[in-house]
Structure 1
Amino acid sequence: MPDTHALNDRPVTVYRHPKSGHCHRVELMLALLEVPYETVDLDMANGAHRAPEYLKISPLGQVPAIEDNGITLADSNAIITYLVERYGEPTTWIGTDPLEKAQVQRWLSIAAGEIAAGPCAARLVTVFDAPLDHEAAKAKARDLLAVMDSHLDGRDWLAADRPTLADIAGYSYIAHAPEGGVSLAEYPHVRSWIARVEHMPRFVAMAGSPILA
């Protein structure tokens, strides 16, 4: 692994909401890579994410975003990819061959698609009072969890024989699905996978939110 102290003169700044799973996946990646970072909590209820200064960092007004020695970047999946390319061992986290890389990318797409529309959306309703269809989001979450549970039957990790970006991108909203009213009781392989992620060295939990699996 590269010497992170040599690569960055100061900690990476993470602009976040502390209960956002998208933000947590970035913090988890930073922690696993042992990259020093500091957090800036945005008062999103009062529009801090729409302030002109922040829109220069995150043009869509989304969290998370990072500043890293003059570099700014938004979008959680883009950020974790950047972090492993800059501070980690890319082949370990992104894939060692074309098929592994494709499998990792598949789960990054699922994180941005089915996970966002299912367990993430369900949790947005209960934690943030988002005006979304809660029952539809819970149904999507259960459909996804059934697929994930079958996929994890006989394997430890989502995309390879070791943790990859797929697991980091998938963990936060799946582990915290119960906060959105989606039980994990019927998905033993998913629960075992969650436990494996949580036992990784230097794992950090989401701020202000219990581990529920």
Structure 2
Amino acid sequence: MPRAEDTQSNAPVKLYRNPKSGHCHRVELMLSLLSVPYECVDLDMSNGAHKAPDYTRISPLGQVPAIDDNGVTLSDSNAIITYLADRYDNLDDWFGSTPAERAEVQRWLSIAAGEVFRGPCSARLVTVFGAQLDHDAAKATAHNLFRVMDEHLLNREWLAAGRCTLADIAGYSYIAHAPEGGVPLSSYSNIRAWLERIEALPGFVGMARSPVPA
């Protein structure tokens, strides 16, 4: 739960986002799980709102998501969820309370920025946003990752510890929406059970679904 000193008399956190972005949903999910009041600011990215000077002062690379937490501005989804866990809860609970747990969480954050991005995220960028990427390569990367993840989750409920951590939050959005990129989850029963556990957490908020390719 949020610390009282961090929530009293504070304005809601502003979340600058594209509502179809899994990176942005990653942050919204964290805010909601922590019961932190927030306000979504949807950027008109098709008209370049993410490159406007007012926004690049918050996100210098012109990327979403970004937040403004009562004057503290930050971009990069993994950095933001780490900040939120530290500011509004107990970071050890979310990032690991032992060296081994912290290393394992960091490993999955790296996977979220690497294989998840190159796999299910990139496959979905092709089908949902029309990105000019190698769709077959992205789907192959996703399936390679999912085979490893499904085995990893065979006898465990969470990715990095005996509880939900930042590792699970960082991985959820694009994996849950992988079918929208043409990557079905039907063969990965342990991943599907893991997704259901996240969706059962108090405060869970989902991302709007896009059509699944035929």
Shorter-chain-normalised TM-score: which range?
A: over 0.9
Counterpart in the other structure of 2:94: 93
Equivalent in 7, 11, 19 of residue 5 of structure 1: 7
Counterpart in the other structure of 1:79: 80
- What letter is aligned with 1:199? A
Counterpart in the other structure of 2:168: 167
In the TM superposition, residue 46 of structure 1 has moved relative to its aligned partner by 1.1
Q: Give a deviation string over 1:38-85, Cα, whole Å, max 9, x none.
A: 000011111111101111000001000000011100000000000000
Counterpart in the other structure of 1:56: 57
- What letter is aligned with 2:101? E
Pairs within 5 Å for 1:26-175: 26-175=27-176
Pairs aligned (count): 210
Counterpart in the other structure of 1:209: 209
Give the whole-Å Cα distance in 2 for the aligned partners of 1:5 and 1:118.
Answer: 37
In the TM superposition, residue 209 of structure 1 has moved relative to its aligned partner by 1.7
Q: Give a deviation string over 1:115-154, Cα, whole Å, max 9, x none.
A: 0000000000000000000010000000000000000000
Give the whole-Å Cα distance in 1 for the aligned partners of 2:109 and 2:198.
Answer: 16
Q: Secondary structure at the match of 1:104?
A: helix
In the TM superposition, residue 5 of structure 1 has moved relative to its aligned partner by 2.1
Give the whole-Å Cα distance in 1 for the aligned partners of 2:10 and 2:191.
Answer: 39
In the TM superposition, residue 89 of structure 1 has moved relative to its aligned partner by 1.3
Q: Secondary structure at the match of 2:114?
A: helix
CA RMSD in angstroms, aligned pairs only:
1.3
Give unmatched runs, 5+ long, in structure 2.
Answer: none
- What letter is aligned with 1:117? R
- What letter is aligned with 2:43? L
Counterpart in the other structure of 2:187: 186
Give unmatched runs, 5+ long, in structure 1.
Answer: none
- What letter is aligned with 1:165? L
Give the whole-Å Cα distance in 2 for the aligned partners of 1:138 and 1:111.
Answer: 15
Give the whole-Å Cα distance in 2 for the aligned partners of 1:69 and 1:202.
Answer: 22
Q: Secondary structure at the match of 1:13?
A: strand
Superposed structure 1 runs of 4+ greater than 2 Å apart: none
In the TM superposition, residue 111 of structure 1 has moved relative to its aligned partner by 0.2
Give the whole-Å Cα distance in 1 for the aligned partners of 2:62 and 2:123.
Answer: 21
Give the whole-Å Cα distance in 1 for the aligned partners of 2:155 and 2:113.
Answer: 25
Q: Secondary structure at the match of 1:142?
A: helix
Give the whole-Å Cα distance in 1 for the aligned partners of 2:69 and 2:10.
Answer: 9
Percent of aligned positions that are identical: 66
